[in-house]
Amino acid sequence: VLAAWQRPYLNIFKHFRVEEWKRSAKEGDVATLTDTRLKGTIYRIRGSNPASSYLQLPRAGTQSLGLTGRYLYLLFRPLPRKHFLVHLDVTTEDNQVVRISFSNLFKEFKSTATWLQFPFVCEAASEGTARQGAAGAAPADVRWTCLVLDLPSILALYLTRRYSHLRGVKLCSNLLVKNLCTSDLLFEPGEEL
């Protein structure tokens, strides 16, 4: 059950004051920019090696975000012609930490008892530009995407485990990130988050 302070949704960047860098960490080429189209602050994470530049919440890997919302919303845009990587560390009801990763580096789905790796296929803004269903570097005209992950369903389906909470997030290069939220509500496209 979602704690009262996390209802109806929790804007993770705002709640943990990412821009102050006290409860979050950044490594490598991480910049705060203003996006005129989205009318707000975005974070640009870039680098030649996706693991060497990142934005991490919470700051220390020994801490936990403790966020219990069922759905994780990530509003992001991969950088054109680049690869990106996102890690989500979740804790199961029996205190097992499982890493859920998605990236356009991964060619196929892989799993172990503690790690799920999902390939992410970037869609181009104009049809015909992207290879249909193929993983790889983002196309030149890649779009903003709101990715919604049902964390309890992912754990139940792939590992037969019960979800407890979101422990940590590591957003690695190369991407632009506008927002990160958790909620027990499934928002429909077009709704304001």
The mean per-residue pLDDT over the stretch 172-179 comes to 94
**Looking at the domain 10-121+136-181, which fold is it?**
Jelly Rolls (2.60.120)
Kindly list the domain boundaries of the chain, sorted by start residue. Answer: 10-121+136-181
89-104 confidence digits (pLDDT tens):
999 999 999 999 999 9
Q: What is the CA radius of gyration of the chain?
A: 16
Given a cut of 90, whether residue 141 has pLDDT beyond it is: no
The three-state (H, E, C) secondary structure of 109-148, written as one string: CEECCCEEEEECCCCECCCCCCCCCCCCCCCCCECCEEEE
**pTM score, whole prediction:** 0.89
| 115 CB neighbour count, 10 Å cutoff | 14
Amino acid symbol at 52: S
Distances (CA, A) of 93 to 57, 70, 180: 21, 14, 23
Mind listing the pLDDT tens digit for each residue in 74-92?
999 999 999 999 999 999 9
